Amino acid sequence: MMIDSSIFKSYDIRGIYPTQINEETIAPIIDSIYQFFQDSFGKKAGLTVVLGRDMRVSSPSLFAVARDRLVKLGAHVIDIGLVSTPTFYFSVFHYHYDCGIQITASHNPKEYNGIKFVRSSPTGLIKIGKSTGMEDVKKICETPPTPDQTHIGGVAVKTNIVESEVDSALSFFHNPQLKKYKIVADPANAMGGTYIDAIFKKIPADLIRMNFELDGTFPAHQPDPLDYANLKDLQERVLSDKADFGLAPDGDGDRLFFIDEKGHVVPASIITALIARELIDKQPGSLVLFDIRYILTPKTIIEESGGRYEITKVGHAFITEQMGNTGAVFSGESSAHYFYKSTGNAESQVMTIIAVLKALSESGKTLSGLAEELRRSYESGEINFTAKNAPEILETLKTTYKDGKLITLDGIAISYPDWRFSVRSSNTEPLLRLNVEAKEKTVMEEKRNELVSYIETLTKKA
């Protein structure tokens, strides 16, 4: 059976159902993942494998095939059913299971499905991506192993995990006294609603629910808060209901955007700075990571708080790997992923919501007021260019802006005393992604316009 190799991405496995991934092709993929797990642990039988899924229309049947296949391979399957991806990560780490597989396509449109998978290690979870084993799985899948049915596994159903996730997060923050806020949440008929409901069963709040019914056809809008068009209804509802803030998770719940009481999107770098300050106050001198796209706000706040920082590549698998290598307590990504050492270096939006509530309650400020207190830069937002000549463009930019400080960690990033920019290639599309930030808004706008015009000229030369 031929499997489309393009479904093996930098961070997960993802493709269109049923042409690229279906009930037939998932069997050898699961075989290959389990073989990879066995090789990683040096263990031929008895691995405990957490198995979860999202609410996509194709997820129940793909989940059933994966479960049955794992049992035949000798795995002890922990069936956690319908959960967000952060809750899936929590279950693998908190209960000390060997590894896990989540059936999900994150924020992709309804016709997609896929697989995220992780294994445990002494330093936390290892998400399997390009640098941590995805190529090995892809290679195994080219000649899938014949299942050795010497050992037959079994299935144990585990429930109430999200409730334990909330209890664990509250305990981490010493069960803080939180004020009662009016909050509007729009999970876009996707998995983020499960942990939002669980949080506010234990924390007092006036919760206004939008699009909470799980529906893998996404009838309201795409579950992708990076596209701000999908936030419009939530922003309007925050204003019309005079709410304190809004919550917008993505499809599988591992990203989360905040809308302040004025209806504005709070930059993820500011939320990163807010949480970093909270955690450094709790653990003085802690190491915090953030990605290369926007660094000025988190860097400055971390330094002011007496913490340490490192910069990461973009991508959740890379970030989790670097957290494991460095012992960082927290990492924030500009696409609104937030990672915690206490949850195995994986995302936890339960932790994020409680951290923000704690900061708001203790400061007495509005979310917009707290955000402005933390702001140290102004950001352009990510700007994409279709570019068939991406390597040449990057080299030209390095030459043109050679008087700046160059970092080549992920694409290129060039810094000046009062502004900086980064340009990196997409891992999945022929795109270049530009991000510009500056200490002053007018400088950011000027340099953004300059770079957009210049890059557009360079793409036309291809």
Q: How far is it, in rounded angstroms, from Cα 217 to Cα 213?
A: 11
CA distances from 352 to 285, 307, 318, 424 (A): 20, 19, 20, 27
State the residue for tokens 């409730």: 163
Exposure of 291 in the CB half-sphere (CA atoms within 13 A):
25
Contact 25, 19 (CB under 8 A): no
Q: Where is 68: in which H helix or E strand? A: helix 59-72
For residues 410 and 292, is the Cβ–Cβ distance under 8 A? yes
Q: Number of C-alpha atoms within 13 angstroms, CB side, residue 322?
A: 22
8 A C-beta contact, residue 241 and residue 184? yes
Written as one letter, the residue type at 188 is A
Task: Give the 3-state secondary structure of 302-356.
Answer: HHHCCCEEEEECCCHHHHHHHHHHHCCCEEECCCCCEEEHHHCCEECHHHHHHHH
Based on the residue annotation, tell me whether 106 is a catalytic residue of this protein: yes
Closest by alpha carbon to 149, among 68, 42, 80, 78?
Answer: 68
> Which member of 58, 59, 106, 335 is catalytic?
106
Q: Is residue 120 within a helix (H) or strand (E), and if so which, with residue range?
A: strand 112-121
User: What is the Cβ-side half-sphere exposure of residue 318, based on CA atoms within 13 angstroms?
Assistant: 17
Q: Compute how many other C-beta atoms are within 10 angstroms of the C-beta atom of residue 212.
A: 18
Q: Considering all CA atoms of the chain, what is the largest pairwise distance in Å, rounded to the nearest integer? A: 68
Active site residues: 106
